[in-house]
Amino acid sequence: MAVTIKDIARKVGKSITTVSRALADYDDVSPATRTRVRQVAQEMGYVPNFTAQHLQKQQSDTLGLILPTYGPRFSDPFFSEFIAGIGNKATLFDYDVLVLTRAPGESELLAYKQKVQSRRVDGFIIVRTRRDDQRINYLRSVNFPFVAFGRTQEPLDYPYVDEDSVSGMRMAVDHLYALGHRRIGCIYSPELLNFSVDRLHGVRSRLGELNLSMPAEYFVQGDLTQETGYEAANILLGLPEPPSAMICFNDLMAFGAMSAIQSKGLVVGKDISVTGFDNIPSAEYSHPPLTTLFQPVYQIGAKVCEMLIQIIRDEPLEESQITLKPELIIRESTGPAPLLKGV
C-alpha cells in the first residue's frame, strides 16, 4: 500500500504534524528533523495522497475542459493542438486537466454544474464560445473561475482570448479582390458559434465596401468538417455562375472544398481559389498548400490556461481580454481570377 506521513512519522519517531511541516518547508522545524524526514520520505517513496491533501485544502489543482463533441467521429486537429497547449502549460504550474466530452446542450450544462458543485475542478476553460453562451452565463452567475477561447455576441465582462475574426476575414476578402476575384463564395460554419457570426460579418462588410455582389446562394453552411466542406463546394460549383473563389471558415472545410474542386477536374489556385482559417500544420503540406489565416491555437491554449491559473490563485491579470490579429498566410491555393469580370 501507499506510504503515508504516518509511516514516515513512525520511522522517524516524530509526530505526523512534524513530518507534515518538515515536508511543507515550515520554518519551525529543526534543520536536523527536516533533513531526516525528507530523506526518509524519499527512501520510502512517499507521495502525498492527492485526495486527502485537497480535501483539506479545499481545492483540487485541477482544471476542467469540456469538449463540445457532436458525432462520434470527432477528429478535429484543432482540439488536439489546443489540448496540448493547455496540458503543457498546466504541467508547468502543477495543475492537472480533466477532459470531459459532451454534446452541447442540457447535459453539457449539467456537467458544468455538477463539476462546479462537487468541487471537482478549480476552474474551467471554455472553448468555441456560442453567441449566447449558457456555459459562460452559468459560470458567471456562480462566480466560478473560467477563461474562454472566444467572445459572445453581447460583450460581457469575463476573461478571454479571441482572434479578431472580422479583420481576418476582411484580409481574406482583400487578398482575393486584389487577385481580381469578383465572385466570392463562402463556406461558413453554424451561426450558433460566435466566431461564425464575426467571420460572416467580416466577409459581408468587406464585400459590401468593395461593392461586390453577395447572392444568398454564394453562402453555404458547413459544420467545420472536411466532409461538409466537400459538399458545400459542390453546391457552389453547381451554381449557374459559380464563384471564382471560396472563403472557408476553417482549414478542414477548405481541404474538403479543394478536393471537390479537383474532383471536377479544376485546378485550385488557378480555376478556383480557396482560403481557410486556422493554419493547422497540414495546411502547409496540402496540395496545393493552403492560403489561410493563422491562429496560434497552441499558444492560445497555453495562454488561456495560464490566465485561468492566475485567476484561481488570485493573481492579477495584466490583460483579461485579449484579441489577437490573425495573420494571412498566402500560399498556392489562391491565385489570379481566371476571368476578370466587371472590373
Q: Rule CB under 8 A: which of 92-151 touch a second copy?
A: 96-102, 113-114, 117-120
Does residue 73 belong to the site contacting a second copy (CB under 8 A)?
yes
Span between the terminal Cα atoms of the chain, in Å:
79
| Contact characters 192-231, a second copy, x per CB under 8 A | ---------------------------------xxx-xx-
Task: Select 32 or 339, whichever has its Cβ closest to DNA.
Answer: 32
Q: How far is the CB of 170 from a second copy (least distance, A)?
A: 26
Task: Select 76 or 133, whichever has its Cβ closest to a second copy.
Answer: 76
29 in Cβ contact with 22 (< 8 Å): yes
Per partner kind, with CB cut-offs from 5 to 8 A, the member of DNA, a second copy, none near residue 251 is none
Q: How far is the CB of 314 from DNA (least distance, A)?
A: 15
Specify which residues 64 forms β-bridges with.
98, 124
194 in Cβ contact with 133 (< 8 Å): yes
Q: How far is the CB of 28 from DNA (least distance, A)?
A: 4
Task: Select 55 or 340, whichever has its Cβ closest to a second copy.
Answer: 55
273 in Cβ contact with 246 (< 8 Å): yes
Q: What is the tally of helices (H) and strands (E) in the chain?
A: 12, 12
Per partner kind, with CB cut-offs from 5 to 8 A, the member of a second copy, DNA, none near residue 77 is a second copy
Q: How far is the CB of 233 from a second copy (least distance, A)?
A: 10
134 in Cβ contact with 109 (< 8 Å): yes
- Count the residues in the chain: 343
Interface residues toward DNA, by CB under 7 A: 1-2, 4-6, 13-18, 20-21, 23-24, 27-33, 46, 48-49, 52-53, 55-58
Residue whose C-alpha is closest to residue 179's, from 293, 273, 248: 273
Per partner kind, with CB cut-offs from 5 to 8 A, the member of DNA, a second copy, none near residue 139 is none
CA 274 – CA 208 distance, rounded (Å): 20
The interaxial angle of helices 251-263 and 226-237, nearest 10 deg, is 50
Q: Rule CB under 8 A: which of 225-284 touch a second copy?
A: 225-227, 229-230, 252, 255-256, 258-260, 262-263, 280-282, 284
DSSP symbols for 34-94:
HHHHHHHHHHHT----HHHHHHHHT---EEEEEEE--SS----HHHHHHHHHHHHHHHHTT
CB-based burial label for 268 (10 Å; 0-12, 13-18, 19+): buried
Interface residue list for a second copy (CB under 8 A): 2-3, 45, 47-52, 54-55, 60, 62, 67, 69, 72-81, 83-85, 87-88, 91, 96-102, 113-114, 117-120, 225-227, 229-230, 252, 255-256, 258-260, 262-263, 280-282, 284-289, 298
